[in-house]
Structure 1
Amino acid sequence: MSWLFGYNNAPSGGQIPPGMIPPGPPGGGGDGGDKDKGKSRSDAYSFDSAALERAAKAAQTLERSPHAKDALQLSKAQELTLQLEHQGKIKETEAHIEQLKMEQARVMQEEKRKTLQEETKQNQQRSQYQDQLARKRYEDQLAQQARLNEENLKKQEESIQKQEQMKRSTMDYQAELNHKNDMKRIEAELRGKAQVERENADLIREKIRLKAQENRQTRLESIKTAGAVLGEGFRALISDWDKVTATVAGLTMAAAGIYGSKYGIGVAARYTEARLGKPSLVRETSRITVLETLKHPIQIGKKLFKKNEEVLTGIILKPTLEERLRDIAIATRHTKKNSGFYRNLLMYGPPGTGKTMFAKNLARHSGMDYAIMTGGDVAPMGKEGVSAMHKVFDWAQTSRKGVLLFVDEADAFLRKRNRELISEDMRATLNAFLYRTGEQSNKFMLVLASNTPEQFDWAINDRLDEMVEFILPDREERQRLVRHYFDKYVLQPAFEGKGRMKIAEFDYDLKCTEIADRIEGLSGREISKLGVAWQASAYASETGILTEEMIDEKVNDSLIAHSKKVVWQEDQTLYSYDTVNQTHNMSKKGASMAIPKSGSSAPETAT
Structure 2
Amino acid sequence: MFGGNKKKNESLSSMMTPENAGSNRGGGSVTGFDPEGLERAAKAARELDASRNAKSAIELIKTQEATKQHEAAAKRAEYDAYTQQMRQTNIEKEAEEARKTLDAQTQHERYRAEYADELERKRQVDMLNAQKYMQEEQLKKQEEMVARQEAMRRKTAEYEAELRTKTELAKTRAEAEGRIRQERENHDLILEKVKLEAIEKRDTVLKAIEDGGKMIGEGLSSYLDDTEKLRNTALLLTAAAAGIYTTKTGAGIAGRFIEARLGKPSLVRETSRLSSSAFVKSPITSFKRFFGVGTSPQEAMKGIVLEEGLESQLRKVAVSTAHTKKNRAPFRHLLLHGPPGTGKTMFARSLAQNSGLDFAVFTGGDIAPLGRDAVTELHKLFDWAKTSRKGLLLFVDEADAFLQSRETNRISEDQRNALNAFLFRTGTESNEFMMVYASNQPSQFDEAVMDRIDEMVEFGLPEAHERRKMIAMYIEKYLINPPGKWAKKVTTVDIGDEEIERVVAETEGFSGRAISKLAIAWQAAAYGTDGAILDQETFFKTVEHHKNSMSQKDEWIKHAHERAEMLTTDR
TM-score normalised by L of structure 2: 0.55
* Matches of 1:383 and 1:258, distance apart in 2: 33
* Matches of 2:394 and 2:356, distance apart in 1: 14
| Distance 1:499-1:243 versus aligned 2 partners, 3 A rule | closer
Q: Which consecutive residues of structure 1, in runs of 5 or more, have no partner in the other structure?
A: 1-241, 584-607
CA shift for structure 1 position 467: 0.8
1:352-409 CA-partner distances (Å, limit 9, x unpaired)? 0000110011112211111111112222222221111111111111111111100101
CA shift for structure 1 position 417: 2.2
| Distance 1:389-1:480 versus aligned 2 partners, 3 A rule | same
* Matches of 1:523 and 1:458, distance apart in 2: 30
* Matches of 1:266 and 1:434, distance apart in 2: 29
Query: Residues 371 and 415 of structure 2 are in contact (CA less than 8 Å); yes or no, is this contact kept in structure 1?
Result: yes
CA shift for structure 1 position 251: 9.3
1:502 counterpart residue number:
491
- Give the AA of the match of 1:360: R
Find 2:534's aligned residue among 546, 552, 555: 546
| Distance 1:431-1:254 versus aligned 2 partners, 3 A rule | farther
* Matches of 2:331 and 2:489, distance apart in 1: 49
* Matches of 1:294 and 1:493, distance apart in 2: 28
2:53 counterpart residue number:
none
Query: Residues 358 and 393 of structure 2 are in contact (CA less than 8 Å); yes or no, is this contact kept in structure 1?
Result: yes
Query: Residues 276 and 291 of structure 1 are in contact (CA less than 8 Å); yes or no, is this contact kept in structure 2?
Result: no
2:545 counterpart residue number:
557
1:267 counterpart = 2:256: no
* Matches of 1:243 and 1:417, distance apart in 2: 70
- Give the AA of the match of 1:560: N
Query: Which secondary structure does the structure 1 equivalent of 2:302 belong to?
Result: coil
Query: Residues 359 and 406 of structure 1 are in contact (CA less than 8 Å); yes or no, is this contact kept in structure 2?
Result: yes
1:567 counterpart residue number:
555
1:307 counterpart residue number:
294
2:399 counterpart residue number:
410
CA shift for structure 1 position 262: 4.4
Query: Residues 403 and 443 of structure 1 are in contact (CA less than 8 Å); yes or no, is this contact kept in structure 2?
Result: yes
Query: Residues 283 and 371 of structure 1 are in contact (CA less than 8 Å); yes or no, is this contact kept in structure 2?
Result: yes
2:271 counterpart residue number:
285
| Distance 1:264-1:379 versus aligned 2 partners, 3 A rule | farther
Query: Residues 277 and 291 of structure 1 are in contact (CA less than 8 Å); yes or no, is this contact kept in structure 2?
Result: no
1:317 counterpart = 2:306: yes
1:474 counterpart = 2:463: yes
Write out aligned runs for 1:404-553 (5 A). 404-418=393-407, 420-493=409-482, 499=488, 501-506=490-495, 508-553=496-541
1:188 counterpart residue number:
none
Query: Which secondary structure does the structure 2 equivalent of 1:449 belong to?
Result: strand
- Give the AA of the match of 1:308: T
1:1-35 CA-partner distances (Å, limit 9, x unpaired)? xxxxxxxxxxxxxxxxxxxxxxxxxxxxxxxxxxx
Query: Residues 288 and 294 of structure 2 are in contact (CA less than 8 Å); yes or no, is this contact kept in structure 1?
Result: no
1:297 counterpart residue number:
283
* Matches of 2:427 and 2:417, distance apart in 1: 15
| Distance 1:370-1:245 versus aligned 2 partners, 3 A rule | same
CA shift for structure 1 position 243: 13
CA shift for structure 1 position 552: 0.6
* Matches of 2:488 and 2:509, distance apart in 1: 33
Query: Residues 481 and 489 of structure 2 are in contact (CA less than 8 Å); yes or no, is this contact kept in structure 1?
Result: no
Write out aligned runs for 1:74-153 (5 A). none
| Distance 1:248-1:449 versus aligned 2 partners, 3 A rule | farther
* Matches of 1:345 and 1:313, distance apart in 2: 20
Mark the structure with the bigger radius of gyration. 2
1:23-70 CA-partner distances (Å, limit 9, x unpaired)? xxxxxxxxxxxxxxxxxxxxxxxxxxxxxxxxxxxxxxxxxxxxxxxx
* Matches of 2:320 and 2:405, distance apart in 1: 31
Write out aligned runs for 1:181-260 (5 A). 260=246
* Matches of 2:246 and 2:442, distance apart in 1: 48
Query: Which secondary structure does the structure 2 equivalent of 1:554 belong to?
Result: helix
Query: Residues 534 and 546 of structure 1 are in contact (CA less than 8 Å); yes or no, is this contact kept in structure 2?
Result: yes
Query: Which secondary structure does the structure 2 equivalent of 1:420 belong to?
Result: coil
* Matches of 1:381 and 1:257, distance apart in 2: 38
1:460-513 CA-partner distances (Å, limit 9, x unpaired)? 11111111111111122111211211222223359x99626312134x222111
CA shift for structure 1 position 427: 1.7
* Matches of 2:402 and 2:286, distance apart in 1: 33
CA shift for structure 1 position 454: 1.3
Find 1:345's aligned residue among 334, 337, 349: 334
TM-score normalised by L of structure 1: 0.52
1:276 counterpart residue number:
262
Query: Residues 332 and 455 of structure 2 are in contact (CA less than 8 Å); yes or no, is this contact kept in structure 1?
Result: yes
* Matches of 2:272 and 2:425, distance apart in 1: 22
2:162 counterpart residue number:
none
2:565 counterpart residue number:
577
Q: Which consecutive residues of structure 2, in runs of 5 or more, have no partner in the other structure?
A: 1-227
* Matches of 1:500 and 1:356, distance apart in 2: 29
Query: Which secondary structure does the structure 2 equivalent of 1:439 belong to?
Result: coil
* Matches of 2:457 and 2:238, distance apart in 1: 62
* Matches of 1:250 and 1:580, distance apart in 2: 71
- Give the AA of the match of 2:521: A
* Matches of 2:230 and 2:368, distance apart in 1: 55
* Matches of 2:494 and 2:520, distance apart in 1: 20
Query: Which secondary structure does the structure 2 equivalent of 1:343 belong to?
Result: coil
1:162-214 CA-partner distances (Å, limit 9, x unpaired)? xxxxxxxxxxxxxxxxxxxxxxxxxxxxxxxxxxxxxxxxxxxxxxxxxxxxx
1:380 counterpart residue number:
369
Query: Which secondary structure does the structure 1 equivalent of 2:530 belong to?
Result: coil
Query: Residues 500 and 539 of structure 1 are in contact (CA less than 8 Å); yes or no, is this contact kept in structure 2?
Result: no
CA shift for structure 1 position 575: 2.2
- Give the AA of the match of 1:570: K
* Matches of 1:354 and 1:551, distance apart in 2: 25
Query: Residues 311 and 358 of structure 1 are in contact (CA less than 8 Å); yes or no, is this contact kept in structure 2?
Result: yes
Query: Residues 329 and 362 of structure 1 are in contact (CA less than 8 Å); yes or no, is this contact kept in structure 2?
Result: yes
1:324-358 CA-partner distances (Å, limit 9, x unpaired)? 11111111111111110100001111110000110
| Distance 1:274-1:467 versus aligned 2 partners, 3 A rule | same
Query: Residues 322 and 356 of structure 2 are in contact (CA less than 8 Å); yes or no, is this contact kept in structure 1?
Result: yes
- Give the AA of the match of 1:285: T
CA shift for structure 1 position 267: 2.1
| Distance 1:297-1:549 versus aligned 2 partners, 3 A rule | same
CA shift for structure 1 position 302: 5.3
* Matches of 1:371 and 1:524, distance apart in 2: 23
| Distance 1:337-1:417 versus aligned 2 partners, 3 A rule | same
Query: Which secondary structure does the structure 1 equivalent of 2:371 belong to?
Result: helix
- Give the AA of the match of 2:317: I
- Give the AA of the match of 1:471: G
* Matches of 2:470 and 2:356, distance apart in 1: 27
Query: Which secondary structure does the structure 1 equivalent of 2:481 belong to?
Result: helix
